[in-house]
DNA sequence: GCCATAAGGAAGGATGATCAGACCTTTTCC
DNA sequence: GGAAAAGGTCTGATCATCCTTCCTTATGGC
């Protein structure tokens, strides 16, 4: 009993985590974040029409006035625009405004974001190897082909890459993992969009995608994990070379 | 361009995730959750004295009145008790009140919680294989020894098991993974505490711990992943056998 | 034995986020 | 030309949270 406590206390910094500041996001902040991330990741494609405000606020479980504040913020930043009248609506801006450079806070924690990414993607890899349907794998393979055709157009590539990774998460059937994946990609894309990605880098990255899908098709978890680890680490190394040391 | 959009839409259910209800937890809820989970997981051991309210509210970044509401709730439920006067304070109750049975909501999503667990633990396994210091591994090994001595006392075993897994997360040096691990363990323990765990099951579980540490010591990521996957799946199978089908 | 001190306990008003709802304005379709 | 469907506006109520001040209780030092 006593020795256990002694042993434990050598390792534990847990109280720091337990007593760390409580970060309660307001509904407004969370909404701006959700919609903004989805738009920036291309999950809501340019020119997409959002549901009418009265419907959307019901879906999000917030008051219309709160939703409108969020929409106003995203219109202000040029990510959305609204038109009035019967055939009006709120649309994802096309083209999108240029991405903002990574914030100092993000640069502070980018290594931890990469760690988190490794976790999410590995979990997805293992579960997709176990559960992905052949149909889902076919769709994802088609996406990999599309990626190959976009090796010279980084913004198209990046968008499809996000779809591929989110698609993998969806193939696991776990909504929580999809959510984790989108949030994590949202955090990452602030970094990834800002570094040079020559043709060769993208080509080798997509070759890893292909190997990953092959492993998934054979339901080979171990290989899927290996390929995914390689894939994530490659990105990490590229980032490490180009960002201020963390 | 167009074909990409077509391919993507076959796979994507993302809008469901994007437009899912925003759960804005209030500061009070989040505080009760944080402290309650830490207590139930034994990260704050029985009879531990919390920091004085005036200090704690500063650390948590909330008003004292809000903190007091949280403490009141946890006192109400028997997890804390407070004494007044100069040598007084707020203490973790000893003994703790009996755990509540798993909620229907938890039973609804327990499989997804297990999926999330797999992700967190795999990420931790890989990163710990890469980064864990020998000293940290020694401490964790001592914990495994302690676990062996607790094979017949489930509540002690469970507590040390949690410490082991959180300790692994800490060994990665990633605060976000520690947070993810504790939150996930919090969600899981509502399930785990409520199923029978005979000596043999615990023994084989702890043997996996031992093999995991061996792999980490050799910095063998692949083996760490394999052992961890096995370990998580074993728990999952035990749960699957004893919980209503999900 | 007294009293400063350190702790929990309690009450007030100020503020801002959020909500619910009614209403206005613009455009389109029949 | 009018109903319908969308965004745009306003108002008042409510609630969570904060800040500040004060009260009560026990302890430890002189």
How far, in Å, CA of B39 to CA of B81, rounded? 12
Protein residues bordering strand D (Cβ below 7 A): A 24, 50, 52-54, 64-65, 68, 71, 82-86, 88-90; B 26-29, 61-66, 69, 83-88
Task: For residue range B7-62, list pLDDT tens digits in order.
Answer: 444 445 567 889 999 988 999 999 999 999 999 999 999 999 999 999 999 999 99
pLDDT digits (tens, 9 = 90+) for B98-137: 998 999 999 999 999 999 999 999 999 999 999 999 999 9
Is some CB atom of chain B closer than 8 A to the CB atom of A57?
no
Query: Is the entire prediction scored with pTM above 0.75?
Result: yes
Taking the C-alpha atoms of residue B239 and residue B118, their distance in angstroms, rounded to an integer, is 14
Taking alpha carbons only, the member of A188, A202, A176, A192 closest to residue A124 is A176
Cβ–Cβ gap B177/A116 under 8 Å: yes
* Strand C nucleotides within a 7 Å radius of protein CB atoms: 4-12, 17-22, 25-29
Strands B89-92 and A89-92: unpaired
**Chain A 39-78 contacts with nucleic strand C (CB below 7 A):** 61-66, 69
Average pLDDT of each block of 10 consecutive residues along chain A (246 residues)? 44 75 94 97 95 97 98 98 96 94 91 97 98 96 96 93 96 96 94 87 96 98 97 94 72
Task: For residue B179, give the nearest of A5, A17, A62 by CB distance.
Answer: A17
3-state DSSP call for residue B89?
Answer: strand
Mean pLDDT of chain A: 92
Candidates B136, B28, B175; CA nearest to A14 is B175
Structure tokens, B24: 């804005």
pLDDT confidence of residue A194? 82
* Nucleotide with the nearest C1' to B57 CA: D18
Structure token digits, residue B14: 């993302």
CB pairs under 8 A between A and B: 218
Q: What is the pLDDT of residue B193?
A: 87
Q: What percent of chain B is modeled with pLDDT above 70? A: 93
- Reference A41, options A148, A135, A169, A152; nearest CA is A169
Distance CA(B91)–CA(B159), nearest Å, equals 19
SS3 B80: strand
């Amino acid at each position: 009993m006593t020795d256990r406590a002694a042993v434990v206390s050598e390792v534990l910094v847990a109280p720091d985590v337990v007593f760390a500041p409580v970060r309660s996001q307001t509904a407004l902040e969370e909404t701006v974040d959700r919609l903004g991330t989805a738009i920036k990741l291309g999950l809501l494609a340019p020119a997409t029409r959002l549901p009418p405000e009265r419907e959307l606020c019901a879906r999000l479980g917030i008051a219309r006035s709160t939703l409108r504040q969020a929409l106003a913020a995203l219109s202000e930043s040029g990510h959305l625009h609204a038109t009035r009248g019967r055939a009006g609506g709120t649309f994802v801006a096309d083209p999108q405004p240029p991405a903002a450079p990574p914030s100092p806070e993000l640069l502070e924690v980018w290594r931890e974001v990469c760690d988190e990414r490794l976790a999410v993607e590995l979990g997805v890899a293992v579960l997709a190897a176990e559960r992905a349907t052949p149909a889902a794998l076919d769709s994802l393979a088609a996406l990999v082909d599309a990626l190959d055709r976009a090796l010279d157009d980084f913004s198209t590539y990046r968008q499809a890459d996000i779809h591929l990774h989110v698609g993998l998460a969806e193939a696991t059937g776990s909504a929580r993992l999809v959510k984790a994946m989108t949030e994590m990609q949202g955090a990452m894309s602030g970094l990834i969009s800002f570094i040079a990605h020559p043709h060769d880098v993208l080509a080798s990255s997509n070759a890893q995608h292909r190997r990953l899908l092959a492993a998934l098709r054979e339901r080979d978890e171990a290989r899927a994990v290996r390929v995914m680890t390689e894939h994530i680490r490659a990105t990490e190394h590229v980032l490490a070379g180009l960002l201020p040391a963390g």
